[in-house]
Amino acid sequence: MQLTQGRGVFRLAMVMAALFCLLAGSPVLAQQAAETPAASAQAEGSGQKPNDAVDQPSDPFVTEMGTTLDDYASTLSGISEKVQGDDNSDDELAKLQVQADQLQSDLSKADSTIQSRLGDVRAQLSELGSGPGPGEPAEPAVTTQERNTLLAERSELNALVDRVNKLAGTADETSGAVSQMRREQFARALFKHTDLQELFSTDFQTLWQQQQAALVKSYGGWFEFLWTSKRVPFALANLLSVLAAVFAYRISTRFVERTKLDLQMDEPSYVVRLLGAFWMTVIPSLAMLAFLTVSYVLFVSMNIFLPDVQRVVRQAYISDGIILFVFLLSRNVLTPRRPQWRLMPVSDSAARNLTLAFTAMACINWFDILIGVLNDTLDADVRLDVLRSLVSSVLIGGILIAVSFIHTRPRETENGSRKKTMRLLFPSLISGLARLVGLFVVLTALIGYVALARFVAQQIVLTGAVLITMYIGILVGKAVGQAGSFAHTGYGRRFIARFDLSQVRVDQLSLLTGLLTYTLTLMIGIPLIMLSWGVRYEEMRLWAANNLTSITVGSITISLGGILIGILLFVGGFLLTRWFQGWFDNNVLLRSRADSGVRNSVKTGINYLGIVLAGLLAISAAGVNLSSLALVASALSIGIGFGLQTIVSNFVSGLILLVERPFKVGDWIVSGSAEGFVKRISVRATEIETFQRQSIIVPNSELINASVGNWMHHNQMGRSEVAVGVSYNSDPRKVMDILMEIATSHPLVLQNPEPMVIFLGFGDSSLDFEVRVYLADVFNGIAVRNDIRVAIFERFRAEGIEIPFPQRDLHIITGDDDDAEKDALDAEIRRRVRKSKVEPVSTGTKPTADNPDAGNDGEDGR
């Protein structure tokens, strides 16, 4: 009770003191009151700064982002004003839509940046906690000021987020409005009806004369200017363009010659036919591309073109290049004059007709486009454009109808039987569809919907050409991806021989090449189809940047482009490492006379270092923060230490073996029960090949922690021993002199250290001696010991020195037996045993450091 009263008095005193300080204008109490949780929550909810933070300077990040958002708002306002105009063309609207979409992407990135900063601020506020409540001790002024600053920044960041959301909504509405306007304009232009009776009642002769006069007036002056002022530069540019074409053609043909592709084969395989069609299409196309590119660049740099002339010439170059490509592709795929190289199962007449039809449709389409650009530069009458579109649409539709009636014919096989072929190019469904589309184009044009007919005809040519090219690309990928197809080409055979690839690796490489072909076909073909249907390049680029570069899955952002770049960088780093590894080994280590062990250690170290650096570079390019990866690695280090300690131990032991080099590749080592030659040292284990050609994989940690004998650590010099026994009737000194003479006379025995003959002791049946010789190469031990043994045997036989054999007396004790026959048998057994000769039995002794080749005399010279 007294305690409760004491607390009440204390609280009353605190309230009175706070009231007094408040009336006195105490700044400390005002600051604490502003930091109460209720005040903080109110400040956060209202989006306003706390009282004491009003006069604090704004954060530089907030100021910078505010300026950026002001620029975005100004840009969006300009787009909206332009959209409201009534005279915007489709090109202008497309540019405005791209700007609005780009603005949306920029606002999304700004929102992510602001949200990240806002998360950091909230985390700091959470660490600081709320301010002290009533009756709690006051916190330091620095802490209070830091909290107020963070609260103010949080309010400003919340305001920025709200502003970003409003701008993003406005940009999305603007983009949608522009897209709607483009669709309406396209529909109006596409379904515009033309009165053909009125069109054909026009005096086209007068229009053509006016068009011709405008052409002479506009381009005649340019030709005169070109002849008088730019004649020499024009001739020089054409000469350089021809040289560039010849150079490109020569380089391409040289590459084909290196592949050893015989284009005159009578029965080529399908892969060879594909390669032939590819190169026969690419080589002239590259030459044409080199000529057009070099000439256009030179003409522009020499100021030969006028603006309108430049447009026409650029379109003429594009049209010529595409027409040539279509012609070459059709001719080399269908090969009208070489049936054995044909990729499609069609007859000779069908091949000729299809090649002519495809080339004609390409010429009509692109010549029509070129005339349209020319008329645009001359401000020609619109009726001429309508007539041009009408004629080109009817021609393309008519050709398409004619193509639909082309039938394939089965070809005979070698045995004369007819094989039912798959009509890959024009099966019944496709033929019927082509016929219907052709009729639709012709009828639509004849009833007055010329724009619709021209659009459909153009898409038939463009989309059809791309689809056929993609189909051929898929066929190429399928053929290349077949097992063993890579080895059928000359380049593939050289590649296999250069890198010594196995059949399994060749098949895997063929599969990878096929997948890459599929990928490239789709990556090139799909954008081309989208471009042909009116999608602008900027729109595709922006879509790819928004959807492929960053994909958010939960709280993780994946960058597909970064991952692709990371993979390419890793592959490039790996190939660069292998190249540098080979160059360093063949140029530096080989010339410095380094032994094989040093070269192997250095190459292995370069390989590991290069792979690690390539991996880190690839991870960084993929967008993975290495600091975050380090945190994850540190968090998992304990688990890895317990779960993978053996692997880590072997890895570290492998690095120690490579650095300290207690043994190297090619050394003869003995470790535990394993003895043989070191074949390979990896990061986990060492491969040892025994004398029986058995490969033993020894973990590196065992080689580090156990004793390892190395016969070749410093040099290959070693000692060999030959043991021999003589009878007790022999003179030991004479035997030693003979053995020393035999040892010193061998050409492979070193004289320094000199050989030794040791009298080992008295055996059961012989006097035991040992010949010890030193060899410069321990691998010659078996041959030297064999020669010495043969020489000892021959010399002892010549000197009359006996090499004894062990003798044993066998006593058989039996019971009393009066049987004479049994006694005689026992006596005979004793006599034969006493005179029997018992040969020494080899016990298969294990090689030791003193006798390294024991038990291996049957080996092949090691």
pLDDT value for 838: 43
CA dist., res. 678 & res. 665, Å (int):
5
Sequence-ordered list of residues with C-beta below 8 angstroms from that of 679, at least 6 positions apart, any chain:
665, 687, 688, 689, 695
Domain residue ranges in the chain: 35-190, 556-620, 625-714, 718-805
Which helix (H) or strand (E) element contains residue 775?
A: strand 767-775
Q: What's the count of helices (H) and strands (E) in the chain, helices before strands?
A: 26, 10
What is residue 786's predicted lDDT score, i.e. its pLDDT? 93
SS3 call for 64? helix
Distances (CA, A) of 723 to 436, 632, 768, 769, 786: 102, 65, 7, 6, 12
Please report the pLDDT score of residue 823 as a whole number. Answer: 67
Please name the amino acid found at residue 639: G
Chain centroid offset of residue 215 CA: 54
- Nearest C-alpha neighbor of 715 from the set 782, 668, 781: 668
> Alpha helix (H) ranges present in 140-260?
141-190, 196-200, 204-229, 231-258
Q: How far from 336 is each of 280, 342, 344, CA to CA, in Å?
A: 14, 8, 11
The C-alpha atoms of residue 276 and residue 333 are separated, in whole angstroms, by: 9
Residue 11, SS3 per DSSP: helix
Neighbour count for residue 625 (Cβ, 10 Å): 10
At a CB cut-off of 8 Å and minimum separation 6, what does 298 contact? 233, 236, 237, 240, 241
Strand partners, 222: none
Top CATH class of 625-714 equals: mainly beta
How far is 171 from 72, CA to CA, in rounded Å? Answer: 10
| Closest residue by Cα to residue 144 from 236, 52, 217, 255 | 52
Give the CA distances from residue 558 to residues 118, 211, 550, 585, in Å, rounded to whole numbers and listed in that order. Answer: 22, 57, 5, 40
Q: What is the DSSP string of 377-403?
A: HHT--HHHHHHHHHHHHHHHHHHHHHH
Question: Is 216 in a helix, a strand, or coil?
Answer: helix
Residues 6+ apart with CB under 8 A from 644: none
Tokens of 696: 């033993």
Smallest CA-to-CA distance from 746 within 768, 769, 716, 722 is with: 722
Task: Output the pLDDT for position 848.
Answer: 42
**Tokens 């006599």 sit on residue:** 831
Bridge partners (DSSP) listed for residue 716? none
Contact indicator for 125, 150 with CB cutoff of 8 Å: yes
User: For residue range 328-353, what is the model confidence (pLDDT) as tens digits?
Assistant: 988 888 888 888 888 877 788 888 88
**β-bridge mates for residue 460, sequence order:** none
CA pair distance 648, 699, nearest whole angstrom: 11
Distance separating alpha carbons of residues 430 and 437, to the nearest angstrom: 10
Query: Which residues lie below 8 Å from residue 410, measured CB to CB, with a gap of 6+?
Result: 345, 418, 419, 420, 421
Please name which of 856, 806, 843, 467 lies closest in space to residue 691, comparing C-alpha atoms.
Answer: 856
> Does an H or E element contain 620, and which?
helix 596-621
From residue 152, alpha-carbon distances to 141, 144, 149, 157 in Å are 16, 12, 5, 9
Please give the Cα distance from 101 to 95 (Å, whole number): 10
Kindly state the tokens that stand for 263.
């284009």
**Per-run averaged pLDDT (10 residues), the chain, 862 residues:** 40 43 38 39 39 51 87 88 77 82 84 86 84 78 84 88 90 86 84 85 84 83 83 88 88 73 73 81 88 90 84 90 90 85 81 89 91 86 87 91 73 41 53 87 90 89 85 80 70 71 76 84 86 75 67 57 78 85 79 67 78 82 63 61 66 71 79 80 80 82 79 78 91 91 90 90 89 87 90 91 75 57 67 53 41 44 40
Tokens of 679: 């074949």
**The pLDDT of residue 789:** 93
- The reported pLDDT for the residue numbered 726 is 92
Q: What is the CATH number of domain 718-805?
A: 3.30.70.100
Q: Are 396 and 404 in contact (CB under 8 A)?
A: no
**Which H helix or E strand runs over 768?**
strand 767-775
| Cβ neighbours around 563 below 10 Å, total | 15
What is the chain's length? Answer: 862
Closest by CA to 293, choosing from 240, 234, 367, is 240
409-417 long-range contacts, Cβ below 8 Å, gap at least 24?
409/346, 409/347, 409/350, 410/345, 411/339, 411/345, 411/347
Rounded to the nearest integer, the mean pLDDT of the chain is: 76
Residue 149's nearest CA partner among 121, 127, 174, 181 is: 121
C-alpha 793/C-alpha 799 separation (Å) is 10
Taking alpha carbons only, the member of 720, 717, 712, 622 closest to residue 676 is: 712
Q: How many CA atoms lie within 13 A of 322 on its CB side?
A: 22
Spell out the residues 6+ positions from residue 436 whose beta carbon is closer than 8 angstroms to its own.
none
The span from the CA of 129 to the CA of 143, in Å, is: 10
Q: Do the domains 718-805 and 625-714 match in fold?
A: no
The answer to whether residues 410 and 418 touch, using CB atoms and an 8 Å cutoff, is yes
Question: Across the chain, which distance is largest between two alpha carbons, in Å?
Answer: 156
For helices 60-83 and 141-190, the axis angle rounded to 10 degrees is 20
Q: End-to-end CA distance of the chain: give it in Å, rounded.
A: 103
Q: Please identify which residue in the block is written with the tokens 């037996």.
A: 817
Whether cis (ω within 30° of 0) applies to the bond prior to 132 is no
- Could you tell me what percentage of the chain is helix, strand and coil, using 3-state DSSP and rounding each to the nearest 5? 70, 5, 25
